[in-house]
Homo-oligomer: A and B are copies of this chain.
Amino acid sequence: MLNKIFSILVFIGVPISVVGSLLNWSSILMFAIYCLTIVALSSFMGRATESLAVVMGPRVGGLLNATFGNAVELLISIFSIKAGLIGVVLASLTGSVIGNLLLVAGLSFFVGGIKYKRQRFNVYDARHNAGLLVFAVVVAFVIPEIFSQNMTDAETMSLSVGISIIMIVLYLAALLFKLVTHRGVYQHQDKNSEANEQEETPEWTRKKSLIILLLATIAVGYISENLVHTFHVVGEYFGWTELFIGIIIVAIVGNAAEHASAVLFAYKNKMEIVVEIAIGSTLQISMFVAPLLVLISLLFPESMPLVFTLPELTAMITSVFLIIILSNDGETNWFEGATLLAAYIIMGIGFYLL
């Protein structure tokens, strides 16, 4: 039923988006069309990823999902840096981090928890992720924030570049650890769940899934870029600041794909993939996308230091502490989801009023 509606939305929404953007239709109207189309495309991406996850295992599935979700974000950010909008890029990185940790995980835990009393996932993965979250957000983002107060701009940029290189190296080391040296080492606990997954049949074949994922990503990319240009008018119309649009609106729409599939997986009690999407994606943003953008920004006239505003950094740090304390027992329930959502709403109000 829902799948049919989304199919119709995609086949109507994509052409209308193209026509509307070429004919310069009203920004408010196009904003609504773009958003709906992206959400519908996200559902396709979710189903494609789910099919791939059945074929290729939960980790690779989650990794694929995080990658396709963040590729779009990386492209938009590069265009923003080119346009000198450093503040918007840092805001949207913040939005992705708190959006994934609080909104995606919160919604998934809540929806999954309505159906199941207790949902479990690999406690080793939870701890591994917790360590990386503390490293990325509490160490690597906080140090330049505090140290740059007594630094010149050039020194701050040197520190940012140094930290960025180390983060990328550690991110690659994390992949090496997870996929090579310690592949399967911490897996013994969820043998059963993996066995169950083997019995499932994927909705689409691997080839069809990959093609749909590719086409949908291109479409989302195209529409996202047009969506960005409606923000100024929409912001004025609804009384939103650019900061609020960057942190809350861009993050919700930009991560809609991940939201949709994470909630879908939670509803099917596949919490390994939910955690991989929500926390794995945050780690990819903070340990790979953010530092890569710092390095790429060196090619442009205005370079981007790894220095967030104090409210942005506070929002990210407190989100990290909250998700760690809620997730490090390897169990979730609806109330933990509600707690994460409540934290997201509090931050949303804060950024709205700022």
Q: Which residues of A contact B (CB under 8 A)?
A: 117-118, 127-128, 130-132, 134-135, 138-140, 142-144, 146-147, 149-151, 155, 158-159, 162-163, 166-167, 169-170, 173-174, 177, 181-182, 185, 310-311, 314-315, 318-319, 321-322, 324-326, 329, 333-336, 338-339, 342-343, 345-347, 349-350, 353-354
Contact = CB atoms under 8 A, between A and B. Distances in A.
Contacts of A177: 333-335
Contacts of A140: 343, 346
A184 to B, nearest CB: 11
B342 A138 contact: no
Nearest to A135: B339
Given A143-B346, A177-B334, 8 more contacts: A134-B322, A138-B318, A139-B343, A140-B343, A147-B350, A170-B338, A177-B333, A181-B334
Contacts of A147: 311, 314, 350, 353-354
B353 A146 contact: no
Contacts of A335: 128, 173-174, 177, 181-182
Contacts of A354: 147, 150-151
A163 B346 contact: yes
29 contacts: A117-B182, A117-B185, A127-B325, A127-B329, A131-B322, A131-B326, A131-B336, A131-B339, A134-B322, A135-B322, A138-B318, A138-B321, A139-B322, A139-B343, A140-B346, A143-B346, A143-B347, A144-B350, A146-B311, A147-B314, A147-B353, A147-B354, A150-B311, A158-B349, A158-B353, A166-B342, A169-B342, A170-B338, A177-B333
Contacts of A343: 135, 139-140
A143 B333 CA distance: 25
A81 to B, nearest CB: 23
A329 B142 CA distance: 25
Contacts of A139: 318-319, 322, 343, 346
Contact of A149 (B135, B310, B326, B349): B310
A171 to B, nearest CB: 10
Main secondary structure of the interface of A (DSSP, over half): helix
A29 to B, nearest CB: 30
A313 to B, nearest CB: 9
A314 B142 contact: yes
A322 B138 CA distance: 8
A170 B337 CA distance: 11
Nearest to A113: B181
A150 B139 CA distance: 25
Contacts of A138: 318, 321-322
A325 B328 CA distance: 10
A167 B315 CA distance: 17
A84 B347 CA distance: 29
Name which of A147, A182, A311, A343 has the most chain B CB atoms within 10 A of its CB: A147
A325 B324 CA distance: 9
